[in-house]
């Protein structure tokens, strides 16, 4: 076992965590792995149904609306905006973690604040998109969009879309709430007294995971 | 102790190196560029679809490229933003090895899905009794 870790440190001699991570961070990793299987199961189920269908609605004709440009046909525009918002929020999160490493309370507060703002912008965008689709008659069990080949589509498309983006959106919402709690704890000096900002790292892991899932939701619902 | 420990973690020297921010910025640029390339390919597929006799294989090829680009994005997020690349190898393996199940998971389900589609397309339009009657030798080659 010892040959896989640096020779200078005897990780398995006791007194140290062999993985050199705090218990909570390790468990966050395993939780995220299980969550990856949950999302993976959703997306593979969606992929299987789509693969077994002769035709499927064209995302470019379904997701073509942009706020303030109602009635215009602009595929991919709004979802690109949402994707970049989430990427930027991931960057501010990793900067918050970085400030935590330096023990800079003000920096952590600043970047956590911006992460929460971008998270809320994402949630607002998703709420707008859901509302827009709902007005067009799309919901669980109701699909107004025809297949790409012109035939009438089943409700599989909307069922999967609302279930998976809803599940992801709920993760974003919980991420925002968790970030908010971490922000309040930081500004109250909890981590300063504790001497480390490991909690920000764990919160950050969860937030990056939400961005990671969006990469695949964006890919399989909007792009391909 | 020679190490500074936080909550059981021995702090890793790279965390304090001043290159951390430039690494974050570089990763941000990579993620943005990949996303822009994906969007360009997405628009290209969209314009291809306007032509009624577009090449399905070429569109599949482009979609394959987009999927590979997304996997690259996932790698950068996990490895740099989530710092998994900086962890001890054994920890990385306990996360990554179970995820290899996805290879089977995806292959098996998509294979089954396309088989289901083919079987349905093959048999659904045909009345089972009529199908028996029309099983002429000339058709057997077409069934594979």
Q: Which residues of B touch A80 (CB under 8 A)?
A: 35, 39
Q: Please state, in angstroms and as integers, the Cα–Cα distance from residue A31 to each residue in A38, A44, B68, B80, following that order.
A: 11, 20, 25, 19
Measuring CA to CA, which residue among B115, B60, B113 is closest to residue A45?
B113
Contacts across the A-B interface (CB distance below 8 Å):
155
- Nearest by CB to residue B35, choosing from A44, A83, A101, is A83
- Nearest by CB to residue B73, choosing from A45, A198, A215, is A215
Phi, psi of B125 (to 5 degrees): -70, -10
Query: Within 13 Å, how many C-alpha atoms sit on residue B98's CB side?
Result: 15
State ipTM. Answer: 0.89
What mean pLDDT, rounded, does chain A reach?
Answer: 92
Range of weakest confidence among A21-35, A99-113, B30-44, B115-129 = B115-129
In chain A, % helix, strand, coil (3-state, to 5) comes to 70, 0, 30
Residue A194 pLDDT exceeds 80:
yes
Measuring CA to CA, which residue among A191, A136, A182, A141 is closest to residue A162?
A141
Q: Which of residues 85-144 of A touch B (CB under 8 A)?
A: 87, 90-91, 93-95, 97-98, 101-102
Q: pLDDT band at residue B123, thresholds of 50, 70 and 90? A: confident
B5-22 tens-digit pLDDT = 566 666 554 455 678 899
Number of Cβ within a 10 Å radius of residue B103: 9
Mutate to test the interface with A, among B36, B45, B88, B116 (most CBs of A within 10 A): B88
**What percent of chain A is modeled with pLDDT above 70?**
97
Measuring CA to CA, which residue among A31, A40, A163, A56 is closest to residue B107?
A40
The partner residues of B10 in beta bridges, in order of sequence, read B5
Measuring CA to CA, which residue among A210, A185, A184 is closest to residue A89?
A210
Measuring CA to CA, which residue among A23, A110, A16 is closest to residue B5?
A16
Residues 6 or more apart whose Cβ sits within 8 Å of residue B131: B123
Residue, of A88 and A6, whose pLDDT is higher = A88
Residues A94 and A208: beta-carbon distance below 8 Å: yes
Number of Cβ within a 10 Å radius of residue B76: 18
d(CA A105, CA A186): 7
d(CA A88, CA A177): 18
């Amino acid at each position: 076992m010892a040959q896989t870790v640096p020779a200078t440190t005897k990780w398995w001699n006791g007194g140290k965590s062999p993985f050199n991570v705090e218990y909570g961070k390790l468990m966050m990793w395993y939780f995220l792995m299980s969550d990856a299987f949950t999302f993976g199961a959703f997306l593979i189920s969606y992929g299987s149904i789509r693969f077994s269908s002769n035709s499927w609605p064209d995302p470019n004709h379904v997701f073509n609306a942009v706020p303030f440009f109602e009635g215009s046909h602009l595929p991919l525009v709004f979802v690109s905006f949402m994707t970049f918002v989430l990427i930027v929020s991931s960057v501010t999160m990793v900067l918050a973690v970085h400030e935590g490493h330096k023990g800079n309370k003000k920096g952590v507060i600043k970047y956590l604040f911006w992460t929460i703002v971008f998270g809320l912008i994402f949630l607002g965008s998703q709420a707008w998109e859901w509302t827009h689709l709902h007005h067009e008659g799309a919901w669980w069990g109701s699909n107004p969009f025809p297949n790409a080949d012109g035939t009438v589509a089943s409700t599989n498309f909307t069922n999967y879309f609302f279930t998976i983006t809803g599940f992801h959106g709920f993760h974003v919402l919980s991420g925002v709430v968790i970030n908010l709690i971490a922000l309040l704890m930081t500004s109250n000096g909890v981590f300063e007294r504790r001497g480390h900002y490991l909690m920000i790292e764990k919160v950050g892991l969860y937030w990056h995971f939400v961005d990671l899932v969006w990469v695949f939701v964006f890919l399989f619902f909007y792009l391909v | 102790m020679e190490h500074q420990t936080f909550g059981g973690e021995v702090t890793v020297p790279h965390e304090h190196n001043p290159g951390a921010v430039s690494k974050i910025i570089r990763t941000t640029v990579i993620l943005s560029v990949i996303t822009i390339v994906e969007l360009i390919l997405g628009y290209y597929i969209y314009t291809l679809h306007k032509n009624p006799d577009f090449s399905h294989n070429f569109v599949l090829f482009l979609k394959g490229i987009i999927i590979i680009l997304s996997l690259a994005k996932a790698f950068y997020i996990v490895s740099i933003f989530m710092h998994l690349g900086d962890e001890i190898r054994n920890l990385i393996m306990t996360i990554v090895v179970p995820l290899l199940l996805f290879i089977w998971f995806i292959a098996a389900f998509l294979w089954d899905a396309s088989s289901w589609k083919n079987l349905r397309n093959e048999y659904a339009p045909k009345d089972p009794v009529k199908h028996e009657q029309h099983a002429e030798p000339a058709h057997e080659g077409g069934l594979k």
